[in-house]
Amino acid sequence: MPDTNPFVPLSIPVVYDRSHRFHEPGGEIWVGVRTPGTEVPERAERILEALRAAGARHLASEGAPEGVALRFHDPEMVDWLRDAWGQWQESGLTEDPGQDRVVPYLFPHPGLVGGLPVPVPAAVTARAGRWCFDTMTLIGPGTWHAARGAIDAAITAASVAALEGVAYACCRPPGHHATRDAYGGSCYLNNAAAAAGMLRDSLEGPVAILDVDAHHGNGAQSIFWSDPTIATGSVHVDPGAGWFPHFLGFASERGDGDGAGANLNLPQAPGTGDGPWLEAVAELCEFARSAGARGIVVALGVDAAGGDPESPLEVTTEGYRGAGELLGGLGLPTAIVQEGGYDLDTIGELVVAALEGVESGRVSSGL
């Protein structure tokens, strides 16, 4: 009997760097209470395990020069991220009051500073709030090392995608909430933005970041707000229905100046499942096409799946496969960058389904 169901390995190359393990957020401060947190090292390990079982090949991450990796961030924020843990320790805060992570306590709210220049404060406790916009994104001993590793993996995936057509970066911490000069939402450096910069420069033409994480991709929206060469689109749970990042992600945000029209937000009602969500993904694809994108970066959060602890969307594994098919169907060089996804029992299968979808979409598109 011939085998009617031969094992076909996943052909999308996977970039993974184990330096992500150095980032142990140590929980999140949520409404003032330290909770366990969901952005844990086990996430990337579970994804990798599922990719291995699917037969994927693994590429080493290449270190990108600082000027490439950190180009979209304020050097002062970068300096802080690099040094924060050391400064925190030196200040004795780990002993008194006994806080083993860098946690902000005061923020330069626009209503506080009233448009005056925001100084870098002298106290390390206040410096944390200078660049962090929430209380949930803590810095520990290995955070910088891991964040740098994640952005390198994303850039490596973009380089491979420019040459070979497609690649996936299995990276953490995630990046899509990080703006030029602020971090939060479990994100420190914007991995997808750096990948898009690399892809645009390699392909010598406009690209698009298409974000299917359950939460709005506010980081890339902000970084490329006036930039027509990197279009940004995001499908996410409606911030107007009470969901993170609460203040951003509305359909009325379309970009400005030269970038007017080059941002698209498609907020979805809580409870939205495959049908309307996939229509929105198709709209993102059409948006990339009409922006003249020569390549795309997919910000692949799988937290829109039903059962994810951080979002109320109800997308299925087959929904993620369908999203992959639509995105792959564009037939463009594609770098896929891991964002959120917090259900450890399903994160692996969700990513594999999305990547299998991308692969079959690319085949249908004639590649």
| Residue from 13, 41, 239, 301 binding ligand SP5 (CB under 6 A) | 301
236 binds ligand SP5 (CB under 6 A): no
d(CA 80, CA 23): 16
325 Cβ contact partners less than 8 Å away, ≥ 6 residues apart = 357, 358, 360, 361, 364
Residues 32-61 that bind ligand SP5 (CB under 6 A): 35
Nearer to ligand SP5, 177 or 362 (CB): 177
325 binds ligand SP5 (CB under 6 A): no
| Residue from 274, 303, 314, 349 binding ligand SP5 (CB under 6 A) | 303
12 close to 355: Cβ distance less than 8 angstroms: yes
Residues 134-193 that bind ligand SP5 (CB under 6 A): 136, 174, 176-177, 185-187
User: In whole angstroms, how close is the CB of 33 to ligand SP5 at the nearest point?
Assistant: 8
303 binds Zn ion (CB under 5 A): yes
d(CA 108, CA 322): 43
| Residue from 213, 227, 274, 308 binding ligand SP5 (CB under 6 A) | 213
d(CA 81, CA 145): 10
- Which of ligand SP5, Zn ion, none lies near 187, with the C-beta cut-off 5 to 8 A by kind? ligand SP5
Q: Which residue is nearest to Zn ion (CB)?
A: 340
| Residue from 28, 45, 211, 213 binding Zn ion (CB under 5 A) | 213
Residues 11-30 that bind ligand SP5 (CB under 6 A): 28, 30
Q: Which residues are catalytic?
A: 177
| Residue from 140, 340, 348, 357 binding Zn ion (CB under 5 A) | 340
| DSSP character at residue 273 | B
DSSP of 82-139: HHHHHHHHHTTTTTTT---SB-------HHHHTTS-----SSHHHHHHHHB-SSS--B
| Residue from 211, 227, 339, 356 binding ligand SP5 (CB under 6 A) | 339
d(CA 360, CA 325): 6
d(CA 231, CA 250): 16
d(CA 245, CA 184): 10
172 binds Zn ion (CB under 5 A): no
Q: How many CA atoms lie within 13 A of 287 on its CB side?
A: 25
Residues that bind ligand SP5 (CB under 6 A): 28, 30, 35, 136, 174, 176-177, 185-187, 213, 215, 244, 301, 303, 310, 339-340
